[in-house]
Structure 1
Amino acid sequence: MADQLQLSVFSDVLATLVAEAGAAVVSVHSKHTRGSGFVWKDGLVITSDESLGEGDISVQSADGVAKPATLVGRDASTNIALLRTDTGNAAPTRFTAKLPRVGALAVAIGARDGAALPALGMIAVSGPAWRSLRGGAIDARLELDVSIRREAEGGLVVDAEGAALGMAAIGPRRRTLLIPAETIARIAPILETKGRVPRGYLGLGLRPVRLDATQQTGAIVIHVDADGPGARAGVHQGDIIEAWDGQPVASIGSLLRGLGADSVGQAIVLGLRRGGAQLPVNLTVGERPAA
């Protein structure tokens, strides 16, 4: 009987946690997609960029009323999109900057037609910062041991105290990843003011090339934008980039992933090979033009 009572108390605590934290969670509908989001600030909702389709967007809260939303900005590299809509009396999400330990309980809370859609799990991975496949800087590697439903992507993940750890996202092989609170706090204000996150820009078209028999790779320049940073620095078509600020170029992907928001305006030295001779070139990273 005592064990049953403890289980009942635990169940009630979880239900209360979901009800309280889930009050900020909404359904996000676009033309062909269904996802979740949460109130970040009055009138602003954060959702998953990957789960957000094109066309008209609506947001539905627990009262069942669907309200139109407009896209403020989105950043595919960190999977964060920001919407403007009527958030009513919903209180903004309370985040914690504290990283959870592996094995700590966590609840992913999405929404279906405005109603909470929770999943209980544990923190399976709690690791250092990493870069997404699209080059975004993610401040901590957090994974849950539980799968979430597709329409729950973009919802909240909260700890046992109800504080939000971050946004739920579906990663490769349907792993449940968290976009941590620190990343949201860094990216969302930029989207609110600029609509997009600036990215570094070289103005160079690159292709991988093997340098010598040691298997070392470089990047051969196959195109130079006339008004780009590379052209201004004197980079020529046919040049081979061997090093970036003194470090060998491991791959074009790693080079491009380094062109995040913090790279704009950075002065770097490209180690070039031109006609068999090595040539250092000073280049200032520009800002990628809006698509």
Structure 2
Amino acid sequence: MTDLTALSSALADVVARTAPSVVSVHSHRARATGFAWKDGLIITADEALADEGAVEIGLPDGSRAAATIAGRDHTTDIALLRTEASLTPVKLSATVPPLGALSAVVATNRDAPSAALGMVSASGKSWRSLRGGDIDARIELDVRLRGSQQGGLALDASGDAFGMAVLGPRRVLVIPTATIERIASQLEARGRIARGYLGLGLQPVRLDDGIGAMVMNVDEAGPSAAAGIRQGDVIVAVNDQKLSGVRALSQALGPSSVGAVIDIAVRRGGEPASFKVTVGERPEA
């Protein structure tokens, strides 16, 4: 047996072992892939899941089963589905593959199992998504995927699943195991991810010495109102750090910010003032 034949057989075996845990996900005019995380629980890509309508999963034996959305987090692209269908949960590995390592993505396409082979083109430290989600490792794959393959399992050369493959801007990203376990566990328990809440509607404004955020409206039952912040105040700094923008402030209000006390410096009628605000939990929409 040649080295190439041995490699081909090993890859085929890796895919065959993983395929029973992979399903297709059907939502309103959308197709994606998912995988069994725990008994009765499926992980899929939130971006590929419709905002409304029924959800169905296509099982490895070709049959269909109903599913419901247990929770979803737009910021990390993770959605959790519940189903009564019996599937073999996959064992996720916390390993982050090195740059240049081979990776196979096991997914579905047109309701049939599919696989794609590529290389780890980036492997680095944690990062924050454009929507403000904390991703535990930066993993990119040099591989081409169709939209229906989003949510597939990314495997290393040993066959260990190290995350979920999703389509990012101009590249394929992997949401690593650490992020999946952290977010999916909260979705399983609460159906949502806690986010920080100041109770303010903000509008960016340019100042002579930088950027500010004008308070356009205040939730009278929110934490900022309780601290004394009013409509018309201009936020210029948080915890002694100059404000870099409204988006940056919003992104800082992640799950870990709930309950924290922050110092907010404002200008009120041109005069400086400061307030201590206890970050609340964002209400459900």
C-alpha distance in 2 between matches for 1:91 and 1:188: 17
Which of 161, 182, 189 matches 2:185? Answer: 189
Cα RMSD between the aligned structures?
1.1
Deviation string 1:40-65 (CA, Å, 9 cap, x unpaired) is 00011000111111211111121001
User: 1:219: which partner in 2?
Assistant: 213
C-alpha distance in 2 between matches for 1:285 and 1:160: 44
- Once the two structures are superposed, the pairs formed by residues 136-155 of structure 1 within 5 Å of their partners are 136-155=133-152
Native 8 Å contact 1:48 1:79 kept in 2: yes
Aligned-partner SS, 1:120: strand
Q: Post-superposition shift, 1:116?
A: 1.9
Correspondence 1:248 to 2:242: yes
Alignment TM-score, normalising by the size of structure 1: 0.95
Alignment TM-score, normalising by the size of structure 2: 0.97
Aligned-partner SS, 2:189: helix
Q: Identify unmatched segments of 5+ residues in structure 2.
A: none
Which of 192, 197, 216 matches 1:201? Answer: 197
Counterparts in 2 of 1:226 and 1:251: CA distance versus 1, 3 Å: same
Native 8 Å contact 2:110 2:148 kept in 1: no
Q: Post-superposition shift, 1:113?
A: 4.8
Which of 43, 46, 55 matches 2:43? Answer: 46
C-alpha distance in 2 between matches for 1:208 and 1:33: 36
- Once the two structures are superposed, the pairs formed by residues 1-291 of structure 1 within 5 Å of their partners are 5-53=2-50, 54-88=52-86, 90-173=87-170, 175-212=171-208, 214=209, 216-291=210-285
- How many residues were matched structurally? 284
Aligned-partner SS, 1:23: helix
Q: Post-superposition shift, 1:23?
A: 1.8
Aligned-partner SS, 2:48: coil
Aligned-partner SS, 1:270: strand
Q: Which amino acid aligns with 1:8?
A: T
Q: Post-superposition shift, 1:26?
A: 0.6
C-alpha distance in 2 between matches for 1:156 and 1:228: 41
C-alpha distance in 2 between matches for 1:107 and 1:272: 52
Q: Identify unmatched segments of 5+ residues in structure 1.
A: none
Native 8 Å contact 1:21 1:158 kept in 2: no
